A and B are shown apart, each in its own frame.
Chain A
Amino acid sequence: MSESILRVENVTMQFGGVVAVDNLSIEVNKGEIVSIIGPNGAGKTTCFNVITGVYAPTNGAVYFADEKVIENHPQGKMKTMYKGQNAGKYTSVATPTPDRITNLGIARTFQNIRLWKSQTVFENVLIAKHMRRSSNLITAALHLNAKEERAMRDEADHLLEILNLQDVRNEPATSLPYGQQRRLEIARAMATHPKLLLLDEPAAGMNPQETKELTEFIARIRDEFGLTILMIEHHMDLVMDISDRIYVLDFGRPIAQGIPSEVQNNPDVIAAYLGVEEEEDA
């Protein structure tokens, strides 16, 4: 059970003089659902962007399936500006582009939905299959890969069926309601055959009913596809319901971690996060 799939080690992300993520370490084991929570600006999405290769971390390393994928240390001007810890611990540099990371088996969704606007629902899923192609440019352009093409289309249709998006298959992606667009983003991410799925606020903008369905759905895809899921979420119902473990971030620092009931009763968390939200709600 405790086979590590993702290990974020001492990652610090500093933009100019601002430390967005400070010495963060996260471990996700195979088959788990792990949530990252924290108030706005806590560095949750930045953490995702580091894992998926959008940003190269200022210092630290990321391991995927016990293999080092990303590593960096302060260079150039950052050497003198660096405010984080563990300076000097990491010496080599490996900063693959996001598509390399996706190729390894980490797929993500976006906080602000980023579907391909001019494409239909079906095409959005189909395009994500492009990465796993075996045909080269010539065979694809001359349409000699009919078998693979049909397999891609069938798999895309199958995914739409699982996500219950078959009815809107040929609609433009942006014409869907918000909740369906979020589901489509998940379908698209799953089309890349990931082992680890990163969901950035999958329930944002959903009503309670949709959130409940999403909760069930996430648990279901974890079981059916053997996925591991790391997600950022603000809906506490969803987080507390399905998370195996939770990391709490505040001002880029991890302030607590553990199983949901532990985190819920952690005084630091209540002070930093839940307390503030209750005030806002009132």
Chain B
Amino acid sequence: MKTSSPLSKQAARSRVPEIITGCIIVAIYLLVFVLEQVVSPGSMLFSVLKKGATYALVAASMNLLNGFTGLFSLGQAGFMLIGAYVYSIFTIPVEVRHSVYQYYDGGIIQHTLPFFIALILGGIVAAIFAWLIGLPVLRLKSDYLAIATLGFAEIIRAIFQWGFLGPITNGSNALRLFPNFDSMNIRQGGDPSAPVSIYFSTTSAFIIAGICIALIFMLVNSTYGRAFKAIRDDEVSAEAMGINLARHKMLSFVISSFFAGIGGGMLAMFMSTVQAKNFTSGMTYEILLIVVIGGIGSLTGSIFSAFLFVACSEWWLRFLDNEMFLTPPAKIQFIVVAIAIIAAISLLTYFRNRHASPKKRKRVYLLTGIADVLLLGWLLWFQFMGGYQMPLLRNGFRSVVFAVVIMTVVLFFSRGIMGTKELPDLIRDIGRSGQNLYHWLCGKRGTGKSLKGGANDV
């Protein structure tokens, strides 16, 4: 009888966090759809959301490989390139092919596929390439695998720009005029020149990325996903427990590349033009950063940080690149608000880390102190230098700030935003902390201790 109690505990494990997660996801989709109808379609918001959805998918696919299977691969840009090219080659309408392939007599492919079939085909072609590359390369481990896959991405980029393949890839010229996200908007009577009746471009990006990420999530939580995690944790014992290493590594690599290919197709839809020179290794590093910042082994983290990353780099930190002038009343208002924000964040950091281990606490306090001194120094400089131009803001400063933020995250929060937790786990934690807080407020001090633990976990 005694042994059955953990079983019943298991059965009674609440499904509420999963339900809340489902509600949050539905709410986000509804919100995106409504925003699209209300806000002007030229807004930066939609650009960020579309690119964010694309990067979220690619980051999730990279996380499947790097985070869940423990294979450090840097070939993502190469597979995205394949997906983007396959998508655009097969969706350019036949009647405009002559203007796109103007140096190659309209190209040799004269078929057009529906956009979603072309997207999936892009994924499949990327997966086939991954299989061919994987045969020799997956024997390698860690850094060597990363170097080999990086090399592959560079080779692919060079090959697609090769003039000999021009009739297919258009050489080093851009592919364009294929259906992009704006083509997803529903127009009156289906006439492309008619005014838009229902905006659907951002929502469609969310739906494509959402389906793919849901598939990755289900895979990760299946028996295959568990086998991937076993390989990540310990290859030797995974093999000793009957997991075929070559087969499972290949599976993970191929599936990851499939979704990277679809992500590439989405990027093509976002950018409206495809040119091989844009798919540099820099793109892979951006995605790697997203995975690391979000948490290696957390899909939620990858999604979250993809949007955060895109929003910061394309939108929120843009102001750092522009010289800015503030006249006296606005200047003092800005300084006061800025100081208030800095003080609030510093206090929050202080209270959140009160009960952390002494070593961590020291580090966090030191870091906060340095950041405070720098920011306040900047504000004082602005105040007492005279003139109305904000110091330091100029073209290129954004990259500096961005790099500093990323270095900080990697150095001091090496487990990323989410660690290995997913959204339901997070909700469960918050619920537990809330419960503890409730007990604590009601005077049941006995549980107060776990409140601290819970607060640090979140």
Contact = CB atoms under 8 A, between A and B. Distances in A.
A141 B242 contact: no
Given A99-B244, A118-B420, A130 B239 contact: no
A135 B219 CA distance: 13
Interface residues of B, number: 32
Given A114-B236, A141-B222, A157-B7, A103 B230 contact: no
B66 to A, nearest CB: 14
B3 A161 contact: yes
B60 interface: no
A160 B26 CA distance: 38
B240 interface: yes
B245 A97 contact: yes
Given A119-B233, A169-B6, A140 B242 contact: no
A116 B3 contact: no
A98 B240 contact: yes
Given A114-B236, A141-B219, A166-B3, 5 more contacts: A117-B233, A119-B229, A127-B243, A140-B219, A140-B224
Contact of A128 (B221, B236, B241, B244): B241
Contacts of A281: none
Interface in B150-169: none
Interface of A: 52, 54, 97-99, 102-103, 107-108, 110, 114-119, 123, 126-133, 135, 137, 140-143, 145, 149, 152, 157, 161, 166-167, 169-170, 188-189, 191-192
Given A143-B222, A169-B10, A99 B227 contact: no
Interface of B: 3, 6-7, 10, 215, 218-219, 221-224, 226-227, 229-230, 232-234, 236-246, 251, 297, 420
Contact of A127 (B6, B241, B245): B241
Nearest to A140: B222
A116 B222 CA distance: 17
Contact of B244 (A97, A108, A167, A189): A97
A98 B224 contact: no
Contact of B242 (A99, A135, A167): A99
Q: Is the interface of B mostly helix, strand, loop or mixed?
A: helix
A114 B234 contact: yes
A116 B223 contact: no
A110 B222 CA distance: 26
B216 to A, nearest CB: 9
Given A157-B7, A166-B3, A192 B241 contact: yes
B6 A133 contact: no
Nearest to A133: B223
Given A116-B229, A143-B218, A108 B240 contact: yes
A51 B271 CA distance: 56
A135 B218 CA distance: 14
Given A131-B242, A149-B223, A137 B251 contact: yes
B242 A102 contact: yes
B110 to A, nearest CB: 34
A188 B251 contact: no
A145 B221 CA distance: 12
Contacts of B234: 114-117
Contacts of A188: 241
